[in-house]
Amino acid sequence: CNDKMTDCQEGEGAKTPMELYERLSVQGDKVRSLKTAKAEKAEIDSAIQLLLKLKTDYKQVTGQDYKAGCPPSENMNVSDNGPAADGTGDEDSVDPWNVSTTNAKGVDYDKLIVRFGSTKIEKDLVDRIEKVSGQKPHRFLRRGIFFSHRDMHQVLDAYEKNKSFYLYTGRGPSSEAMHVGHLIPFIFTKWLQDVFDIPLVIQMTDDEKYLWKDLTLEECHRFTLENAKDIIACGFDVNKTFIFSDLEYMGASPEFYRNVVKIQKHVTFNQVKGIFGFTDSDCIGKICFPAIQAAPSFSNSFPQIFGGRKDVQCLIPCAIDQDPYFRMTRDVAPRIGYPKPALLHSTFFPALQGAQTKMSASDVNSSIFLTDTPKQIKNKINKHAFSGGKDTVEEHRKYGGNPEVDVSFMYLTFFLEDDEQLEKIRQDYSSGAILTGELKKILIETLQPMIAQHQERRKQVNEEIVKQFMTPRPLNFNL
């Protein structure tokens, strides 16, 4: 049973990585509670013996040490995983709420693929997307910004046989202002919607933000409506796009809520503790929230769009920090009779101060906001954008700059369309032919018109248009 651990027979002696992991979590809790209750020494000792034995089993099966809060990845190869790579102390930290690394180049995405058990997007997949869609691949694919996937080949196989699929992505509306980093999944999702001509659902998790942040329900809902305007301004087709607020839709759609309940029934508290790191002091709303983010992966959560069909494949473009939600979803799907959603993962958009963290909506200077004026954009980049240049002009001319850690160059890889121009800038910066100030100027001149155009489009989005996008209704497409 060394392929997908979810497919293993749950026989008495079956010891899949996930089962061992869950037994370890339970046993760990047991040892702690015995100690707290000051139980007999003999009883505590035997509980510890069992815990140690399980840890040994776990290491034999997975090749890795058991770590609370780090479940084995979905397709961990049970039979031949060698010992874990050393250097676990400097692991990048990536979860749906925090992203950090000690490396100026940013998160090590190749390691993350191994840790999460996803698959790298290789050139053959990019070429295949081009062939199937008949369009030049988006720059995010050409440049490895979308770099990892789950089951994308399967989606394309079906599409080639005239079986459609739908897109699902989302946004956690934690503030009124969105920054350029927030646009990455939406820019790419719009491209996918255009080239494949398919429907899209966008979940606004205002319920999640209420549970996690110090905000009122009214604020969260207002942020949803404001953020929806920025999302609509990306150019989505109103005839193929449904944007919904959890706080509204969940109460209005029995089918959606039924799927939430099905998912909840098939995920244990131990599993969500393992996947998301929840503790006993987290409110119960957080503990069952993952089921709500999972539900849009199943087509019959949207009867107005798909009728009663539960077999329409879902493709989720998202940043890789959201993957834990969908590992859980993919684990549950076959057990409740639904297809597993496929995923395309993007890298993080680095903060101006450097790629050690992703941008934060709560720190104005970490980011270029969609509301920034041309002057603010210029000042922020000149003042805060981390430079890969040398300390003096002479040194820079002689030794060149390092585009791999230079934030201005990183931003250009996201937003400059012309591959040849980008490569020339990379070479000129590396050789010292262009200085940091000149590189920043190129970025400023790329971002200013882009943000100004976005603001212009957003102005056109009135309450009426938002309401159109957010009303449950049939969408226009062929399955």
48 closest CA partner among 30, 66, 60, 36: 30
Mean pLDDT of 198-223: 97
Side by side, which strands form the sheet with 313-319? 119-120, 146-150, 342-346, 313-319, 165-171, 200-204, 241-245
CA 479/CA 155 separation, integer angstroms: 13
CA 173/CA 180 separation, integer angstroms: 14
Average model confidence (pLDDT) for the chain? 90
CA 445/CA 212 separation, integer angstroms: 37
For residues 208 and 144, state if they share a domain.
yes
CA 293/CA 329 separation, integer angstroms: 9
Mean pLDDT of 423-440: 97
Query: What residues does 244 pair with on adjacent strands?
Result: 203
Lookup: tokens for 327? 């590992």
Contacts of 66 (CB under 8 A, 6+ apart): 21, 24, 54, 55, 58, 59
- The CATH number of the domain where 28 resides is what? 1.10.287.10
5 located within any domain: no
What does the CA dihedral 125, 127, 133, 136 come to, rounded to 10 degrees?
130
53 — pLDDT class (breaks 50, 70, 90): confident
CA 55/CA 168 separation, integer angstroms: 38
For residues 168 and 221, state if they share a domain.
yes
Which of 49-63, 309-323, 331-345, 389-403 shows the lowest mean pLDDT across its residues? 49-63
> Which H or E element spans position 232?
helix 217-232
Mean pLDDT of 141-145: 97
164 located within any domain: yes
Structure-model confidence comparison of residues 96 and 303, the more confident one: 303
94-99 LR contacts (CB < 8 Å, sep 24+): 94/320, 94/321, 95/276, 95/277, 95/321, 95/324, 96/276, 96/321, 96/322, 96/324, 96/325, 97/212, 99/321, 99/348, 99/357, 99/358
Side by side, which strands form the sheet with 350-351? 93-94, 99-100, 354-358, 350-351
- Phi, psi at 403, each rounded to 5°: -65, -20
pLDDT recorded at residue 24? 86
Q: Per this entry, what is the length of the chain?
A: 479
For residues 390 and 283, state if they share a domain.
no
Strands 99-100 and 93-94: antiparallel
10 Å CB burial of residue 33 (0-12, 13-18, 19+) is exposed
Query: What residues does 168 pair with on adjacent strands?
Result: 201
Q: What percent of the chain has pLDDT over 90?
A: 73
- Phi, psi at 202, each rounded to 5°: -120, 115
CA 161/CA 77 separation, integer angstroms: 31
- The DSSP line for 332-388 is HGGGGT-PPPEEEEE-PPEETTEEEEE--TT-GGGS-BTT--HHHHHHHHHHHS---
Query: What residues does 93 pair with on adjacent strands?
Result: 100
The domain boundary, picked from 72, 93, 115, lies at 72
118 located within any domain: yes
pLDDT of 363 > 70? The answer is yes
Residue 413's domain comprises 360-460
The domain boundary, picked from 315, 332, 351, lies at 351
33 located within any domain: yes
CA 141/CA 120 separation, integer angstroms: 12
pLDDT recorded at residue 361? 66
pLDDT digits (tens, 9 = 90+) for 87-108: 444 678 888 888 888 888 889 9
For residues 399 and 294, state if they share a domain.
no
Whether the CB-CB separation of 243 and 469 falls below 8 Å is answered with yes
pLDDT recorded at residue 90? 63
469 closest CA partner among 233, 267, 185, 243: 243
418 located within any domain: yes
pLDDT digits (tens, 9 = 90+) for 244-302: 999 999 999 999 999 999 999 999 999 999 999 999 999 999 999 999 999 999 999 99
CA 31-32-38 angle, 5° bins = 90
For residues 207 and 178, state if they share a domain.
yes
CA 467/CA 244 separation, integer angstroms: 10
Q: How far is CA 443 from CA 377, 378, 426, in A?
A: 10, 9, 13
- The CATH number of the domain where 378 resides is what? 1.10.240.10
The domain boundary, picked from 296, 325, 351, lies at 351
236 located within any domain: yes
85 located within any domain: no
CA 332 to chain centre: 19
For residues 173 and 247, state if they share a domain.
yes
Which of 18-22, 75-79, 388-392 shows the lowest mean pLDDT across its residues? 75-79
Count of structural domains within the chain: 3
CA 159/CA 137 separation, integer angstroms: 17
For residues 285 and 385, state if they share a domain.
no
CA 287/CA 270 separation, integer angstroms: 10
HSE-up of residue 72 (Cα within 13 Å, Cβ side): 32
For residues 337 and 389, state if they share a domain.
no
